[in-house]
Chain A
């Protein structure tokens, strides 16, 4: 999808040529991406280069286009304009190095599959079209489940897992993909403390292996402790860079507008960053104060 927009729209291409910093080392390079739903733009002119080996949080209010950004990068929804490249290549040629954790709510958890079946799906690309899942694949999937602490739940139907366990199944499926760049859409939403800890362990391990993880994140309080980089998004990029530099009061103001209650909490969180042990969930929608 991204490749076709290069050919149909000459403007981004010339802009791309004019960017010397554009590098094949960057796992993700987004240039001039604009996405529209029903002719109403939801993302404007996004430029972003993800550095290798880092954990990146995408934060912003509801409707800011966080999920849209991920989906547009992955070609799940078409971009109206712009280019997306992975290590300097279009998506179709980098597919095997890209992992994805979609939002948990997007699937029907009553679907007749076991946790192990779901994790095996992460290997379908490696297995190939029309070829059967073999023992090696099941063993690899099992290993990945065990890593997420779910070895005992492998043969349960997914409806019989708790929300946190379901999220860990999705993580296990992404891990078994053995990708170099991961996109995760709200992996921390509505999970228990044990799952949150398990996920953050996985993220850190991925980073230590030099992989990049881009995470849509809701909880501003944990951004400074969990992530290296942050992208503050509200239909356009407000600020992007190392958390210490961009996660400032002023930038948060620009991102979240007049939602003052939330901002007060957020800046408090920044101040306390690192000391916080047991974060509680505060969603943006729960702060109606203007």
Chain B
């Protein structure tokens, strides 16, 4: 079983392109049509990156998924109607208009379900996505059983196929992408305001309804532009993955949008170039996989928000807590010997807090200072929790080190006073 599968895979494999072919393709020297497709796919990547960033911020990414699936009945329907009326059904503008109309009808149905029933958004999206896709598949089979050879290309709209794209198709796609980019950039300020705080935006006259309609129109433009190259199943990935990857690297909207556009452009460029070199590989999937690689790398190595950075931060925090506890204990009860792990003892010694590696080691001057400080801050926190916690029950960073940053000086003085008044000793720490 396995060998046959492997064999069948090798048979469909493309020849590995030569280095000079690769170089020619990525430097846009391998023919006008290929270049047009690559440039258009890159523009599409930029458009999807920018608009995807807004969809992400507005939490509308999955609506885009339903929309793209809902374009299929429109594509097949437009073909059937145009053919019946005697036009060339395969004409791209006609198909894209059909896709737009049925995509919007699909989103309309989501809206209808949400406003007129008690169903929630996930169910509404799931229903519309699958039902419209089902209708599309049925219509497609009708097309294939009745129509002439001109119908064959319609399948490409599902998975995407840049190799079959004509130059004028690429130009159409590029122009739609540019329009979407321009609109998104012009309205960025207003879109951001609504995404962040809908009610405030409404109060200052930026209607959420208008902006949502705008975002939706932009998603329609990107989806329709990308149908041929990426396909309706995977186009949503171009809207979701680049901004999600970009979010790991920045916490400013403008940078998020730029970075998302760059990642989208890169994926579009790499994917369409590879598809030009290896014509059997579906461009859509390769574009999405390129973006996926960027996402995984971002998720792992991004500073601050990345998984590795978070892991390191947690480990550091744990270590600091362990150090603080040990020092506090040694400071408060110098006569008691507390067992701790060898690595911790090594670190304490290395940092100059203890005099030897033994569990019974006494503290150095700096160890005593640190222990005193930790002890004092712990007492302050305890007093704070007892007497003041009802003032700010939430949003308090419990890290001992931060006591001076979280509580204002006035309150610390009051806490100190209360602790002394209750007869406890409070260590003096120079601030």
A residues apposed to B, CB below 8 Å: 71, 74-76, 95, 98, 100, 102, 106-108, 111-114, 117-118, 121-122, 124-125, 127, 129-133, 157, 159, 162-164, 173, 177, 190-194, 196, 278, 280-281
Interface stretch of the complex, out of B75-83, B354-362, B385-393: B385-393
Q: Closest residue of chain B to A196, judged by CB?
A: B391
Interface stretch of the complex, out of B171-179, B200-208, B216-224: B200-208
B197 touches A117 (CB 8 A): no
Given contacts A74-B203, A121-B196, A193-B411, contact A111 B57 (CB under 8 A): yes
Given contacts A95-B205, A124-B189, A124-B190, contact A117 B252 (CB under 8 A): yes
Q: How far is the CA of A29 from the CA of B200 in the complex (A)?
A: 21
Neighbouring B residues of A190 by C-beta, 8 Å:
392-395
Say which residue of B251, B391, B411 sits within 8 Å of A159 (CB atoms).
B251
CB distance from B208 to the nearest CB of A (A): 10
B389-407 interface code vs A (CB 8 A; 1 in, 0 out): 0111111110000000010
B216-256 interface code vs A (CB 8 A; 1 in, 0 out): 00000000000000000000000000000001001111011
- B residues 151-183 near A (Cβ < 8 Å) are none
The 3 closest A-B pairs by CB, nearest first: A163-B395, A192-B392, A157-B251
B26 contacts the other chain (CB 8 A): no
Instruction: Please count how many residues in chain B sit with their CB below 8 Å of the partner chain's CB atoms.
Output: 37
B190 touches A129 (CB 8 A): yes
Q: Closest residue of chain B to A100, judged by CB?
A: B203
Say which residue of B195, B206, B395 sits within 8 Å of A111 (CB atoms).
B195
A113 touches B192 (CB 8 A): yes
A–B pairs, 19, beta carbons within 8 Å: A74-B199, A75-B202, A100-B199, A100-B203, A108-B196, A111-B196, A112-B250, A112-B252, A112-B256, A121-B204, A124-B201, A125-B205, A129-B190, A129-B206, A157-B252, A162-B406, A164-B395, A190-B394, A193-B411
B205 touches A121 (CB 8 A): no
Q: How far is the CA of A98 from the CA of B203 in the complex (A)?
A: 8
Say which residue of B187, B200, B251, B408 sits within 8 Å of A121 (CB atoms).
B200
A124 touches B193 (CB 8 A): yes
Q: Closest residue of chain B to A280, judged by CB?
A: B390
Neighbouring A residues of B189 by C-beta, 8 Å:
124, 127, 130-133
Say which residue of B187, B251, B391, B393 sits within 8 Å of A112 (CB atoms).
B251
Say which residue of B206, B252, B394 sits within 8 Å of A114 (CB atoms).
B252
Neighbouring B residues of A121 by C-beta, 8 Å:
193, 196-197, 200-201, 204
B85 contacts the other chain (CB 8 A): no
Interface centre among A108, A112, A164 (most CB of B within 10 A): A112
Neighbouring B residues of A118 by C-beta, 8 Å:
196
Neighbouring B residues of A106 by C-beta, 8 Å:
197, 199
Q: How far is the CA of A113 from the CA of B194 in the complex (A)?
A: 13
Q: Closest residue of chain A to B409, judged by CB?
A: A194
B186 contacts the other chain (CB 8 A): yes
Neighbouring B residues of A162 by C-beta, 8 Å:
392, 395-397, 406
B120-157 interface code vs A (CB 8 A; 1 in, 0 out): 00000000000000000000000000000000000000
A193 touches B391 (CB 8 A): yes
Summed over the interface, the residue pairs from A and B with CB atoms below 8 Å come to a total of 107
Neighbouring A residues of B193 by C-beta, 8 Å:
121, 124
B339-370 interface code vs A (CB 8 A; 1 in, 0 out): 00000000000000000000000000000000
CB distance from B416 to the nearest CB of A (A): 16
CB distance from B321 to the nearest CB of A (A): 21
B200 touches A281 (CB 8 A): no
Q: Closest residue of chain B to A159, judged by CB?
A: B251
Say which residue of A114, A129, A132, A164 sits within 8 Å of B392 (CB atoms).
A164
Neighbouring A residues of B255 by C-beta, 8 Å:
112
Q: Closest residue of chain A to B414, judged by CB?
A: A278
Neighbouring A residues of B201 by C-beta, 8 Å:
121, 124
Q: How far is the CA of A164 from the CA of B288 in the complex (A)?
A: 42
Given contacts A112-B251, A281-B391, contact A107 B197 (CB under 8 A): yes
Say which residue of A71, A75, A130, A196 sits within 8 Å of B186 (CB atoms).
A130
B204 touches A107 (CB 8 A): no
Interface centre among B201, B204, B397 (most CB of A within 10 A): B204
B206 touches A124 (CB 8 A): yes
Q: How far is the CA of A191 from the CA of B391 in the complex (A)?
A: 7
Q: How far is the CA of A169 from the CA of B192 in the complex (A)?
A: 17
Neighbouring B residues of A191 by C-beta, 8 Å:
392
Q: Closest residue of chain A to B246, judged by CB?
A: A112
Q: How far is the CA of A269 from the CA of B411 in the complex (A)?
A: 23
A130 touches B190 (CB 8 A): yes
Q: How far is the CA of A75 from the CA of B208 in the complex (A)?
A: 13
A117 touches B203 (CB 8 A): no
Neighbouring A residues of B411 by C-beta, 8 Å:
193-194
CB distance from B421 to the nearest CB of A (A): 16
Neighbouring A residues of B203 by C-beta, 8 Å:
74, 76, 95, 98, 100
CB distance from B302 to the nearest CB of A (A): 13
CB distance from A131 to the nearest CB of B (A): 8
Q: How far is the CA of A177 from the CA of B189 in the complex (A)?
A: 17
Say which residue of B187, B247, B396 sits within 8 Å of A130 (CB atoms).
B187
Q: Closest residue of chain A to B187, judged by CB?
A: A130
A107 touches B196 (CB 8 A): yes
Q: Closest residue of chain A to B388, judged by CB?
A: A193
Q: How far is the CA of A74 from the CA of B397 in the complex (A)?
A: 36
Q: How far is the CA of A94 from the CA of B252 in the complex (A)?
A: 32
Given contacts A114-B252, A162-B397, 4 further A-B contacts (CB under 8 A): A74-B202, A112-B57, A130-B187, A162-B406
CB distance from A229 to the nearest CB of B (A): 22
Neighbouring A residues of B57 by C-beta, 8 Å:
111-112
Q: How far is the CA of A114 from the CA of B202 in the complex (A)?
A: 21
Neighbouring B residues of A130 by C-beta, 8 Å:
186-187, 189-190
Neighbouring A residues of B390 by C-beta, 8 Å:
280-281
CB distance from A70 to the nearest CB of B (A): 10
Q: How far is the CA of A221 from the CA of B393 in the complex (A)?
A: 18
CB distance from B15 to the nearest CB of A (A): 45
Q: Closest residue of chain B to A71, judged by CB?
A: B199
Q: How far is the CA of A111 from the CA of B190 in the complex (A)?
A: 15
Neighbouring B residues of A194 by C-beta, 8 Å:
408, 411
CB distance from B250 to the nearest CB of A (A): 7
